[in-house]
Amino acid sequence: MKNLKGKKALITGSSRGIGKQIAIGLATLGCDIILHARTLENLKEIEEILKKYDIKVYKIACELSDPNSVQLMLEELDMKHKNIDIVYNNAAISCENQLLFNTQRKVWDEIFEVNLFALIKICEHFLPLMIENKYGRIINFSSGISNQPEMAPYAVSKAAVNKYTEDMAIRLKGTNVLMNLINPGWVQTDMGGANASSSIESVLPGVIVPALLDDNGECGKTFNIWEYKNLELPKLVV
């Protein structure tokens, strides 16, 4: 699998949870990191953790529910970074269980703005340069949630992410820009809750695997994190 030393990765929602673990995993492999959160203050803890690695760490704040904020973030990234090789669209929001036949429109709007529309904006911003450079890895997050119509806004947003990723992957064949999905399973995050079956640490190394794919590797695939739980991160890299 690909050596990531010297590559640069943007991770949305990297102040905590799975995003924080992604940052640690990539840093272990020598990848430079662009951390994202709603505020720079939220990134202090992960920034401190990453100091022990021989990498460059950058920070950016953006409210993904605000299209103007997303646009400003992308413009700032263009000014400060020549190339971004890897993008993890990790940030997402959910909702409390809704009344089965009376979900408020504002709930749908906010969830789709963060989980789908911001993700698409980020993907389509970086794809042209990645294609020109003949290298790129974009990892979007799926969900295995099903049979819970009370959480329909979240579940439907993730189904849309799946469809967008799978269809876009068809057009990316032969470009060496690989867009794939991660299914993290039920993980002990703020969203998943303390009763989830998997610890937050268990997402490594599986969550890193799509970033390590060799040139012209899988595209449009869903990677289930738990299938890689017995692997060691350093041994994944040639």
- pLDDT tens digit string along 6-57? 999 999 999 999 999 999 999 999 999 999 999 999 999 999 999 999 999 9
Write down the domain spans for the chain: 8-236
| Bond before 205 cis per omega within 30 degrees | yes
Compute the average pLDDT of residues 209-229: 94
Which of 53, 88, 135, 154 is labelled catalytic?
154
Name the residue with tokens 């939220």.
42
> Which two tokens mark 134?
């003949």
Percent of residues, the chain, with pLDDT higher than 90: 75
Question: Of all helices (H) and strands (E), which one includes residue 152?
Answer: helix 152-172
Catalytic, 154? Answer yes
φ/ψ of 208, rounded to 5, equals -90, -20
According to DSSP, the residues that pair with 177 across neighbouring strands are 136
Question: Of all helices (H) and strands (E), which one includes residue 162?
Answer: helix 152-172
Which pLDDT band, with edges at 50, 70 and 90, does 195 fall under?
A: low
Q: What is the pLDDT of residue 186?
A: 56
Position 190 pLDDT exceeds 70: no
Return d(Cα 179, Cα 218) in angstroms, integer.
Answer: 8
State pLDDT tens for residues 109-160: 999 999 999 999 999 999 999 999 999 999 999 987 766 788 889 999 999 9
b/e map of 200-235 (b: 16 or more CB within 10 Å)? Answer: bebbbbbbbbbbbbeeeeebbbbbebbebeeeebee
CB 141 within 8 A of CB 89: yes
Architecture of domain 8-236: 3-Layer(aba) Sandwich (3.40)
Which pLDDT band, with edges at 50, 70 and 90, does 178 fall under?
A: very high
- The listed range with the strongest mean pLDDT (87-91, 201-205, 233-237) is 87-91
